[in-house]
Structures are given as structure tokens and as C-alpha cells.
Amino acid sequence: MRRNPRDLQRYNASERANHWVVGICFILLALSGLAFFHPAFFPLTQLFGGGPWTRILHPYLGVVMMLFFVVMAGRFWKLNVIEPRDKEWLRNVRKMVDGNDHDMPEQGKYNGGQKVLFWGLVIGMVILFVSGLLMWRAWWTPPVTAVRLASLLHAVGAVWMIGLIIMHVYAAIWTRGTIRAMLYGTVTRAWAKQHHRGWYRQMTGDKS
């Protein structure tokens, strides 16, 4: 894709690679996890070389995802601190859904919805990682009660995360120009001014 020199850089190559590693790991974990969630999904284990290999790979993929997610969260958490303007944005989110986003409060690099999603993912990741460790009996033998509780929390956390990721993907597709940012790292000035006017002003110095 030919880059317009007037476009704004939203993500550098390292940030995009970090995001895609987390995303790919999540897809693989969702597929392998579903394979053990219900017998109807067990054929998904063939994607990983069969049941035994799926059971072996699933927790290791989880560790990889968590490590890269920690790096990503460390990069972006300050940009996702909830501010008063984010609360106002959330109160007026129906306007955006109705296509009247010009009346929405001015936002920085991330809007209120994106920030809520970020912290929701953080909570979900913690639940999945901690419960997954308790269930990983290849390395230790926790009490049966702890394993049962961890299994329940892991399932709840997985449903929580899958729901949030579906929302994330839907929002990215619905807001045209968003996916381009994570593919190529840039967005047009028009896109930035319409959806993240505060960030646009910061990047360009434009006060209009």
C-alpha cells in the first residue's frame, strides 16, 4: 500500500507485531479450548495434531499470549486511563451508534469504549492465566476443589474474552479505516480528526 506522506502514524511495527501475536495466540487458544469444552467441538483437535497434542500445546500458547499481552498492556495502559471526557463519551455512545458521532465529546488516542474494552481484556487475561495455572497439572498437583473452581473460572473467563474480542473485531470493521491502522500503522488525517480529534490535534498541532 502506497503511503500518503500526510497520513498519521498510529502504531509502529513493533506495536503491530505485538498485537498480532496476541491475536493469533487467542484464536488458537479459543479453538483448542473449545475442543475440550464440548464433545461436538472435539474434531477441532485435528488442527493441532490430535487430542494429546492439543492438550499439551494449549497451556503453552496461553503463556506466550500472556507474556506478549503484558508487554502490550505495559505500552498502552497510560493511554487507557479513564478520564471525565471518556465517561461523557460513554454516556453519549448512542449518538455514535446512530451515526451522529460529530456531536461526541472530543477523544484522545482512544475513546471511552476502547478504554473500557482494554480494562475488560486485562481482567479477562488475569482470570484465564491464574485459573489456567491452577489447572496445569503437568507441573503440580493442586487440590481437586481448586482445580474444579479454576475450571469454572477458566470457562467463564474464556466466554468473557471471546465476547470482548468479537466486539473488538466488529467495532474495527464497523469504523472504516481502523483495520488499516493495525495492518499498515497509519490512518488518514480525516479519519483521525473525525474519530479522535484530541489525538489529531496533538499529532498535527491543528487547533481547528
Give residue-wise pLDDT tens across range 3-34: 777 899 999 999 999 999 999 999 999 999 99
Give the pLDDT band of residue 96 (cuts 50, 70, 90): confident
Task: State the burial class of residue 102 (Cβ atoms within 10 Å of its Cβ: 0-12, 13-18, 19+).
Answer: exposed
Q: Is 58 a catalytic residue?
A: no
Characterize 104-139 residue by residue with b for buried, 16 or more Cβ atoms within 10 angstroms of its Cβ, and e for exposed. bbebbbbbbbbbbbbebbeebbebbbebbbbbbeee
Q: Distance between CA atoms of 154 and 141, rounded to whole angstroms? A: 17
Q: Is the predicted pLDDT of residue 1 greater than 70, yes or no? A: no
Active-site choice (19, 154, 168, 196)? 168
Spatial distance between the Cα atoms of 121 and 208, rounded to a whole number of angstroms? 35
Place of cell 468479537: 166
Q: Which three cell numbers mark 16?
A: 503491530
Q: Model confidence over 156-173: pLDDT tens digits?
A: 999 999 999 999 999 889
Alpha-carbon span 106 to 198, nearest angstrom: 6
pTM strictly above 0.85: yes
How do residues 111-159 score in pLDDT, each as one tens digit?
Answer: 999 999 999 999 999 999 999 999 998 788 888 999 999 999 999 999 9
With contact defined as beta carbons under 8 Å apart, do 96 and 146 qualify?
no
